[in-house]
Amino acid sequence: MEYSIKEIAGIIGADAKKLHDAPVSILLTDSRRLSFPEQSLFFALQTKTNDGHNYIQGLYKLRVRNFVVSTFLPEFESMPKANFLVVKDTLKALQKLAAHHRKRFNIPVIGITGSNGKTIVKEFLYQLLHNEFNIVRSPRSYNSQLGVPLSVWQMSDKNTLGIFEAGISQPDEMERLQPIIAPTIGVITNIGEAHQENFISSTQKCLEKLTLFNDCEAIIYDGDDAFIANCIESACLSHKAITWSRTDSEAPLYIESIKKLDSETIIRCTLLGFDRTYTIPFTDDASIENVIHCMAVMLYLKPTSVNDIEKFKRLEPVAMRLDVKQGINNCLLINDTYNSDINSLDIALDFQQSRRVEKNLKCTLILSDILQSGTLPKSLYKKVADLVRRKKIDRIIGIGRDLKEYGGAFDIEKEFYLTTDEFIKSPSFKKFKDELILIKGSRQFHFERISELLEKKVHETILEVNLDAVVHNFNYYRSKLKPETKMVCMVKAFGYGAGSYELAKTLQEHRCDYLAVAVADEGEELRKEGISIPLIVMNPEFSSFNVLFENQLEPEVYSFRLLDAMIKETERRGITSYPIHIKIDTGMHRLGFQPEDVPEVCRRLKEQSGVVARSVFSHLVGSDSYIFDDFTKKQLDTFTRVAAELEAGLEYKVIKHILNSAGIERFTDYQMDMVRLGIGLYGVSASGQKGLRNISTLKTTILQIQNVPAGDSIGYSRMSYVKRDSRIAIIPIGYADGLDRHFSNGGGEVVINGHRCPIIGNICMDACMIDVTDTDAHEGDSVIIFGEELPVSELSDKLKTIPYEILTSISPRVKRVYYRE
């Protein structure tokens, strides 16, 4: 749906500069996501760490002509074809525009909030109702102050139902989201601990979430949840309540019984007095609760929609993320079967482009027909073809009747097939090589078959790395700093076991100032893979000078011998002003110049032109413990004095940094010019900070379960005996994968289906045994070695070591799988 730029100026109350007629249909807040410049309106959002105004000149060169700004800068005068709408707050202007857009539609809108399950309930509702309504819904988990207006902007005249989710992390945020979604039906899933740190109490947080429902006709929730019920009463919303219950037979939806089987659950219930029995393909409590929420919504929205019990059997798990996996023949796979519409395709294509690091890696899109779009196929695939062209996709493989019929819209290398089976049997399927492949399909096309066949078959033990959690932790620490303070992130030791490249790429995308590696070879690999931001080498070797200079790696310099060698090498190569980083030993006694060496360091640097001190830094010994605070303060004072002496002696500005992760948490007054983020980036806080997220999960699967009679021994050397008839699971992870042998014989445990199970017997090289006697475990079930449910710090505490050792011990043969939520 289009608006004129003049309409938008009036809606948001902007002071319009240089107003020319222009149609707007796309709202843009991230310059990297530009697809259709002529139709885009860019909002120059400002955050603590970035400013959208900095990207306007670049966007203008890319033919964007419409901008919402909070400051009209002098350089904008040189853009004669641009429209500038000047407002006080660009985010509020975006929200105001979306709220105005929402008012144009008189259709049912479901607003979903809660601590967990929002996205799942939204997607389950879509699966259950898409044949009866033309649905517009939030892409993925677009539920923030920014995500909600972008979601609602998708509404058009063809839609007959809207489903949007709303999340908050601070007080007063829901008040801004309520008029944008303006739900007619509200769903509150549950209230947990998420984002509790910014609220006085859980009650305050719940009441804040409930403001979304002020103008709703109905509010749907679990009537057995006394906490939510009390909050709804306090908010004077009880008269709108539509509850489901396991205990109250008078509830509109009464759950008589829930029976879990091996792979499905049978729910017997009474809906408005009518008995029904539903079978759903899930057995976990969260999924069962989410489905019941959906039943209650459907019962209110359209009672007849619950009569089709077969569609509940067909519910499919919601893939909450974009997976990146190694494929056959040097291919990289991005698997996205989350949903199939042009908006989610746009997001997935952006993610694909962000992973395109080598020019000789062909970008391939495997796409199915886009179903229930509400747009005529000819127009739809013309738009898809335009999007694919703008995203610089090299080849498209289309599967489905519509794509085959309208494939002429695509002007790139292309192939089309009627069915997934036809494609798999084709000669082309065996020819994938050196490609970055996005697999994007509607569920009914069963593209998981394509993924399984193209995926490189490796060890069943994997380390999952959540790139969104990495970004969250990065921004968490950045929020503790002044806007001008730089950050260097440590990606040494294979990214603390998580894999250097994907982390480096993600941090580069989020404008990290520096990355640090241990040795030059690590830096060289990152350069080969397209990492272009400054890289510090913490332990440079004399034999690595060639690698340093050829890859523009900046070495730590800690001794006169190394300094002289660097100077001599730059002179030999004819290099001037090569950046180095001066290390001062303030008490670690590992590497570094002594404080008294600084005058001589200055003298040698001033007598040459080959190298220049980019920064001066030191390492804190015990910033993670108050026991060492006196020594830490002594180190900080020494470094402050020495750094000032170095800067004065050199007579130019030098970046100063000493704080590590724990230092950022506990000594922010000493952030100086830059800080170094290490273990905190990976979700481990030395001081127990609540705001961090776990980024990695080491997991495997149960290969076999054996019934072992009482009195038998388990494993090598007969170190463990079972005292009762037992069920013993064998899992394919051992000390060669990084599972420490000290966890043998009950020293460690794993998590299976939410239950902790002890390791029994000695851990082998490639396998170990788990006692699952008291757990409902089955062959093929997932096994968590560490992750959200079993923190890596708990493992390190058992071994009386540190989380670094656990993380960096994970073998390279363990496949890393990267994903975004």
Residues annotated within the binding site for substrate are 590, 765
- DSSP label at residue 46: B
Helix (H, G, I), strand (E, B), or coil: what is residue 437? strand
CB 575 within 8 A of CB 601: no
Catalytic residue check, 716: yes
Which residues neighbour 597 within 8 Å (Cβ) at sequence distance 6 or greater? Answer: 560
Q: Return the ∠ at Cα 292 (arms to 289 and 297), rounded to 5°.
A: 130
CA 644 vs. chain centroid, Å, equals 40
Report the length, in residues, of the chain: 821
Q: Is the alpha carbon torsion for 209, 212, 215, 221 positive or negative?
A: negative
Q: One of 122, 492, 505, 699 is an active-site residue; which one?
A: 492
Which residues neighbour 317 within 8 Å (Cβ) at sequence distance 6 or greater? Answer: 282, 287
- 535-537 and 274-280 beta bridge pairing: unpaired
Q: In terms of C-beta distances under 8 Å and separation of at least 24 residues, what long-range contacts does 51-59 make, across chains too?
A: 52/90, 55/31, 58/31, 59/31, 59/34
Q: How far apart are CA 68 and CA 430, in angstroms?
A: 49
- What pairs with residue 15 in β-bridges? 86
Nearest CA to 511 out of 44, 56, 820, 49 is that of 49
Q: Tell me the CB-side half-sphere exposure of residue 163, using CA atoms within 13 A.
A: 25
- DSSP label at residue 733: -
Six token digits for residue 494: 């294979």
Q: How far apart are CA 396 and CA 384, in angstroms?
A: 11
Cα separation values, 711 from 708, 726, 746, Å? 9, 10, 17
- What pairs with residue 749 in β-bridges? 758
Helix (H, G, I), strand (E, B), or coil: what is residue 425? coil
Q: How far apart are CA 142 and CA 693, in angstroms?
A: 19
Cα separation values, 779 from 287, 662, 701, Å? 21, 42, 8
Residue 259 φ then ψ, to 5°: -120, 115
Which residues neighbour 654 within 8 Å (Cβ) at sequence distance 6 or greater? Answer: 582, 613, 614, 615, 616, 643, 646, 647
CB 163 within 8 A of CB 8: no
The residue assigned the tokens 């079930």 is 781
Q: How far apart are CA 82 and CA 61, in angstroms?
A: 11
Nearest CA to 694 out of 705, 683, 702 is that of 683
Six token digits for residue 157: 């005249």
CB 420 within 8 A of CB 399: yes
Catalytic residue check, 492: yes
Nearest CA to 604 out of 630, 549, 636, 565 is that of 565
Six token digits for residue 320: 């909450």
Residue 391 Rama label (left phi>0; alpha psi -120 to 50; beta):
alpha
CB 361 within 8 A of CB 393: no
CB 317 within 8 A of CB 286: no
Six token digits for residue 361: 């890696």
- What pairs with residue 40 in β-bridges? 26
Residue stretches of the annotated binding site: 590, 765
> Would you name the residues annotated as active-site residues?
492, 716
